[in-house]
Amino acid sequence: AGPCQRHLDSSLIDVDIHPNYATVIIKSKVLRLNLPAEVRVGDSKAQRSKTTGHLVLVMPKVNPDENSVTIRREKREVAELQSAAEKAKVEAERKRKEKNTAFQMQEAGAAALGAGGGPSKAVNIRGLVLPSKGGIAPPKAAAMNAVSTTRKENTSNGSNGTDANMPPPPPKSHALVDEDEESEEEVDEDEPPPIF
């Protein structure tokens, strides 16, 4: 119910009812009311009191059991479901990023390990640009060649001072300096070999 002027003619009042809102126009002034529940438009009525001039809008609900408490509860439940879905989505995204970051760190750690087993301090830029486009070709992996060896049986009777059951002596190590130069220059055994 709403107060209207008592002597105001009813022809100056226009009421328009929709399922979710009602619009009342009085002397070109607009009043729009948002309805908390859906109403049946065909059964709605607008009445005016003859004694006081009050305007009464009767709008029956589509669901008569629905009231403001149940509507608020339903809205709250929908909001909670949406927030729970949003939290689950954010948590899934965080876990995905965390897993992706851990995988990238693992890949970077594996790539950073050098031949010595420790992290490498140098960055390999070979192979980033194709050689056909002017880039540096990546180093070729050293190919391992299979070598077949045969062992000759020692048929001597130990005349050279070796026992037949003993393995042959290890080969002489190759020095960094040729044998001819070694005889000319004296090599200090305590000094490490030069690094080139």
> Tokens 């002017």 sit at which residue?
134
The 10s digit of each residue's pLDDT in 67-123 is 878 888 888 999 999 999 999 999 999 888 888 887 777 776 666 554 445 555 677
Put simply, whether the predicted model's pTM sits higher than 0.85 gets the answer no
Q: How far apart are CA 139 and CA 72, in angstroms?
A: 70
* Six token digits for residue 150: 């045969």
Q: Per residue of the chain (196 residues), what is the pLDDT tens digit? A: 566 777 788 888 899 999 999 999 988 889 999 988 899 999 999 888 888 888 899 999 998 888 878 888 888 999 999 999 999 999 999 888 888 887 777 776 666 554 445 555 677 777 778 888 887 776 666 666 777 777 776 555 555 555 566 667 666 655 454 444 444 455 556 676 677 6
